[in-house]
């Protein structure tokens, strides 16, 4: 009987999709740790709208990004491919970077456009600006864009206001470059950006996009990579001073408020029951910022490392009437979002090597994941070192370990940059179900079962590395100050004169 009901549900879902293609709203937080949300156990985070999504949707406990820093993680999310294939490595792209996400890479937006979807991106792009804005979202399948094209700390901020009435941003941010611009499509609308009004501008833009698409009865894809909760934190009057966590908590609350606004818009326009809402984050918390840097919960280390705290993320899937509320312990990844969306939209997959897997069975039936492995590359992947770690089932093997500047200041001596590169042969093996904190490597002596596991993991690693073709590094193409976005390109002296 249960099988017949399940079959009927799936038939109804397919018929619904055929009659009216589903909409997709993808929220992507920045530097958010596994333990930062109220629904993931943080005692003082104020995230009522995300908590509502988790209560009414599917919450993941074993969801991974592909890199412990920004640009490569975003490349993988939008292409369904490890960043090594697209060349978004090592590290991140900068305002004057010559390279960017190659235009021959296929993004989620480009997958959906042939199906008649309206597409928009709002927030932090961080996949390149380039000559004449050649790498902006509007060149990568998005009809509209409003946002800062890279990280909002990539410009001087010591004299900018981050909290009302006139609380200056914490720290200096990057100096010797242009102030961060607000870009609409490919035109700079404001430089430097006004942080106090920024989130409202994003919320209004996204609301208008959803409302217009719904009125036209056009399916839509909204990609919202937020700046929150990356350093320096900021918040406007709607959230400043209203959380218990200080600047970090206020920034997180502001993002949560926008999520609430957009859920209300989905409801008012009558499309909430035909919309998949997905939330996750790009990498783990920047622990070097201490209380301003987020929380990895029970996981080890954070941003910049291949420990769990650097790459295991909160993730929530919400679709009223279609996704049953619950918690899944199945393994999934940002890589899996593109093929899942393509499947639901009836779109063709790109004819390239994809690393993502369709996770509809997990979403709709809370069934088994097709994903059995997860690969862990460091911030500076290379063919010489290959994978730093690999997860197979519940076991994770570390072939190399290394700390990172981003994960400094913690008591764990494995996390800071002083924990230099260390090879492990045989690899360190952890049972992530029993020990998600990676405290206790399993002893291999006298354990033929674990020794057989190590050999199996090595085989999987060798096969994967043999299939990996590294794309040309876009970061190694270097930077050119003349490519930094300037609203008054003929002005002098740069970068100080770039203001409007």
Report how far apart, in Å, the C-alpha atoms of 433 and of each of 137, 329, 331, 393, 415 are.
Answer: 39, 9, 12, 10, 21
Measured between alpha carbons, how far is 243 from 222 in angstroms, rounded to an integer? 27
Measured between alpha carbons, how far is 325 from 319 in angstroms, rounded to an integer? 9
End-to-end CA distance of the chain: 66
**φ, ψ at 225 (rounded to 5°):** -80, 105
- What number of helices (H) and strands (E) belong to the chain? 11, 16
> How many other CB atoms sit within 10 Å of the CB of residue 95?
24
Residues 31 and 286: beta-carbon distance below 8 Å:
yes
Residues 443 and 401: beta-carbon distance below 8 Å:
no
CA neighbor of 99 nearest in space, from 394, 494, 472, 411: 472
Q: Which of 42, 65, 126, 173 is catalytic?
A: 126
Interhelix angle 246-268/48-56, nearest 10 degrees:
50
230 assigned to active site: no
Measured between alpha carbons, how far is 311 from 282 in angstroms, rounded to an integer? 8
227 assigned to active site: no
Q: Which of 70, 162, 415, 498 is catalytic?
A: 70
Measured between alpha carbons, how far is 108 from 106 in angstroms, rounded to an integer? 7
Report how far apart, in Å, the C-alpha atoms of 154 and of each of 126, 180, 232 are.
Answer: 10, 7, 10
* Count of alpha carbons within 13 angstroms of residue 451, beta-carbon side: 5
Query: DSSP string of 371-414?
Result: --EEEE--SS--TTT--SEEEETTEEEEEEE---GGGTTSS-TT
User: So which residues are the catalytic ones?
Assistant: 70, 126
């Amino acid at each position: 009987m249960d099988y017949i009901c399940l079959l009927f549900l799936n038939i109804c879902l397919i018929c619904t999709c055929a009659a009216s293609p589903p909409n997709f709203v993808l929220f992507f937080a920045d530097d958010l740790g596994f333990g930062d949300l109220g629904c993931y156990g943080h005692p003082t985070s104020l995230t009522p709208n995300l908590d509502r999504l988790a209560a009414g949707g599917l919450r993941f406990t074993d969801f991974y990004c592909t890199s412990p820093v920004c640009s490569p993680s975003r490349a993988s999310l939008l292409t369904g491919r490890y960043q090594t294939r697209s060349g978004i490595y090592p590290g991140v792209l900068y305002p004057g970077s010559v390279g960017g996400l190659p235009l021959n890479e296929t993004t989620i937006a480009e997958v959906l456009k042939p199906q008649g979807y309206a597409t928009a991106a709002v927030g932090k792009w961080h996949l390149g600006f380039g000559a004449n804005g050649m790498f902006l979202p509007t060149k990568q399948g998005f009809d509209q864009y409003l946002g800062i094209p890279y990280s909002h700390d990539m410009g001087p901020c010591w004299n900018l206001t981050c909290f009302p009435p006139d609380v200056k941003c914490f720290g200096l941010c990057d100096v010797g470059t242009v102030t961060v611009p607000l870009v609409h499509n490919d035109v700079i609308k404001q430089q430097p950006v006004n942080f106090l009004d920024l989130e409202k501008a994003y919320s209004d833009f996204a609301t208008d996009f959803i409302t217009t698409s719904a009125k036209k009865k056009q399916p839509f894809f909204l990609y919202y990579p937020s700046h929150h909760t990356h350093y320096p934190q900021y918040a406007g009057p709607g959230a400043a001073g209203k959380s218990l966590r200080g600047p970090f908590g206020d920034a997180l609350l502001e993002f949560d408020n926008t999520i609430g606004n957009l859920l209300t818009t989905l409801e008012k326009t009558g499309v909430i029951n035909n919309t998949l809402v997905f939330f996750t984050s790009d990498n783990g918390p920047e622990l070097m910022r201490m209380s301003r840097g987020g929380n990895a919960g029970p996981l080890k280390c954070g941003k910049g490392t291949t420990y769990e705290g650097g790459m295991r993320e909160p993730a929530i899937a919400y679709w009223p009437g279609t996704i049953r509320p619950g918690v899944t312990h199945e393994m999934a990844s940002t890589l899996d979002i593109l093929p899942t969306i393509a499947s639901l939209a009836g779109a063709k997959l790109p004819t390239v090597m994809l690393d993502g897997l369709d996770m509809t069975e997990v979403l709709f039936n809370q069934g088994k994941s097709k994903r059995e492995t997860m690969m862990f590359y460091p911030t500076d992947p290379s063919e010489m070192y290959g994978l730093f770690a690999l997860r197979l089932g519940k076991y994770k093997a570390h072939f190399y370990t290394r700390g990172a500047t981003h994960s400094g200041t913690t008591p764990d001596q494995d996390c800071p940059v002083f924990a230099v590169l260390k090879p492990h042969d045989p690899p360190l093996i952890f049972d992530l179900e029993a020990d998600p904190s990676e405290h206790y490597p399993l002893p291999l002596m006298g354990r033929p079962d674990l020794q057989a596991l190590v050999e199996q993991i090595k085989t999987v690693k060798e096969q994967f590395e043999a299939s990996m073709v590294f794309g040309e590094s876009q970061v190694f193409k270097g930077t050119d100050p003349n490519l930094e976005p300037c609203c008054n390109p003929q002005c002098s002296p740069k970068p100080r004169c770039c203001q409007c």
